[in-house]
Chain A
Amino acid sequence: SQTIHQWPATLVQPVGSPLSLECTVEGTSNPNLYWYRQAAGRGLQLLFYSVGIGQISSEVPQNLSASRPQDRQFILSSKKLLLSDSGFYLCAWSPSVVQPGGEKLFFGSGTQLSVL
């Protein structure tokens, strides 16, 4: 079965410090990968998605970047964090081939980032 791991679960960082959040998927090949951000009490905003190694699409211009160094690894980074980067970050994957029942997303457990 497929599993998705995301870490760390919580992170407190000072303004101006770098960021690296990591996500890995097991049990599948060539998944589509996603990074979402959720502001408190709000829905999800898609930040980046990737359909393959080295292929990253950005949905929202911002202080963050993403990389996919390996097939099942997706990294969210920042060189200098801003206060506005605080939020709950979720990694997700979907099969590269759409399954019957729609293209479902499977989410990691999330990272609560607080920038102080």
Chain B
Amino acid sequence: AQKITQTQPGMFVQEKEAVTLDCTYDTSDQSYGLFWYKQPSSGEMIFLIYQGSYDEQNATEGRYSLNFQKARKSANLVISASQLGDSAMYFCAMTTGSARQLTFGSGTQLTVLP
């Protein structure tokens, strides 16, 4: 069975600073995918970044990067130069197969302070 753990219910960061959101996962499968989604107060879930288990380099998408440490089973999201619009709930998720097998963590509420 897959499990995603996000241990930070809430995080605060000063505008323009970097912030790391933690995510650890548990699976016995060798092939899997890790995702981060952002959910602003409007409710829509927005895809941010993806990391495949066989990808050797950490994924990056603009100000988002995924710090993938396979041996430690962690997939932390790093947001550089935080903006006020980054305030939202962030979910880590993984799948060992299709998207219908996607398992979500409980989320981290990020608040960016001016």
Asked if A and B are interacting partners, one says yes
Contact of A102 among B37, B52, B100 (CB under 8 A): B52
Closest CB in chain A relative to B54 CB, distance in Å: 11
Instruction: Assess A43 versus B99: contact at CB under 8 Å? Given A102-B50, A109-B44, A110-B44.
Output: no
User: Is A90 a contact of B100 with CB atoms below 8 Å?
Assistant: no
Contact residue range for chain A?
20 to 34
User: Is B106 a contact of A42 with CB atoms below 8 Å?
Assistant: yes
B8-51 vs A: 1/0 string, CB under 8 Å?
Answer: 00000000000000000000000001010100001111110010
Closest CB in chain A relative to B70 CB, distance in Å: 16
The chain B residue sitting closest to A46, CB to CB, is B100
A residues within 8 A CB of B46?
A: 107
User: Is B47 a contact of A104 with CB atoms below 8 Å?
Assistant: yes
B residues contacting the other copy or chain, number (CB 8 A): 22
Question: Could you pull out 5 A-B pairs where Cβ atoms are within 8 angstroms?
Answer: A34-B99, A98-B98, A102-B35, A106-B47, A110-B44
Chain B positions near chain A (C-beta within 8 angstroms): 4, 33, 35, 37, 42-47, 50, 52, 91, 95, 98-100, 102, 104-107
Q: When A and B form their complex, which 8 residue pairs have the shortest distance between CB atoms, in order from nearest?
A: A43-B104, A107-B45, A110-B43, A102-B50, A102-B33, A103-B99, A49-B100, A94-B99
> A32-B100, A43-B106, A46-B102 are known contacts; what are 11 more A-B pairs with Cβ within 8 Å?
A32-B98, A42-B106, A49-B100, A92-B45, A92-B99, A94-B99, A104-B35, A105-B37, A105-B45, A107-B37, A107-B44
Chain A positions near chain B (C-beta within 8 angstroms): 32, 34, 41-44, 46, 49, 57, 59, 88, 90, 92, 94, 98, 101-110, 112
